[in-house]
Amino acid sequence: MYAILADILFAMTSFAGAEPGASTALALPVDCTPGRTCLIQKLFDHDAGPGRRDYRCGVLTTDGHDGTDIRLRTMADMRAGVPVVAARAGIVLRTRDGEPDAGLAGPGRTAGKDAGNAVVIDHGGGWETQYSHLRRGSLLVRPGQTVARGQAIALVGLSGNSEFPHLHFTVRHNGMAVDPFVGLTPLAGCGSGASPAALWSPIVVTQLGYVPTGVIAAGLAAEVPPSAVVDRDPPPALGGAHAPLILWADTFGARAGDRQEFAIIGPDGKAVHSQASEVEKGGLSWFAYSGKRPSAAGWAKGRYVGRYRLLRGSTVAAEIEVGGVVQ
Summarize pLDDT for 239-254 with one digit per residue, the tens.
Answer: 999 999 999 999 999 9
pLDDT attached to residue 97: 97
Spatial separation of the C-alpha atoms in residues 325 and 221, rounded to whole Å:
10
pLDDT attached to residue 81: 97
Spatial separation of the C-alpha atoms in residues 242 and 286, rounded to whole Å:
29
Residues in the chain: 327
On whether both 207 and 224 belong to a single domain, the answer is: no
For 240, the domain range is 214-326
CA angle 234-235-241, nearest 5°?
115
Paired strand residues for 16 = none
User: Is the pLDDT score of 12 beyond 50?
Assistant: no
CATH number for the domain harbouring residue 236: 2.60.40
Instruction: Enter the pTM of the model.
Output: 0.89
Share of the chain above pLDDT 90, in %: 81
Residues 17-57: tens digit of each pLDDT: 344 444 479 999 999 999 999 999 999 999 988 999 999 99
On whether both 134 and 5 belong to a single domain, the answer is: yes
Q: Of 191, 178, 172, which is closest to residue 130 (Cα–Cα)? A: 172
Residues 71-122: tens digit of each pLDDT: 999 999 999 999 999 999 999 999 999 999 987 766 777 777 899 999 999 9
On whether both 26 and 11 belong to a single domain, the answer is: yes
Number of domains within the chain: 2
CATH number for the domain harbouring residue 43: 2.70.70.10
Average of per-residue pLDDT across 230-243? 93
pLDDT attached to residue 104: 72
Say if CB 320 and CB 215 are below 8 A apart.
yes
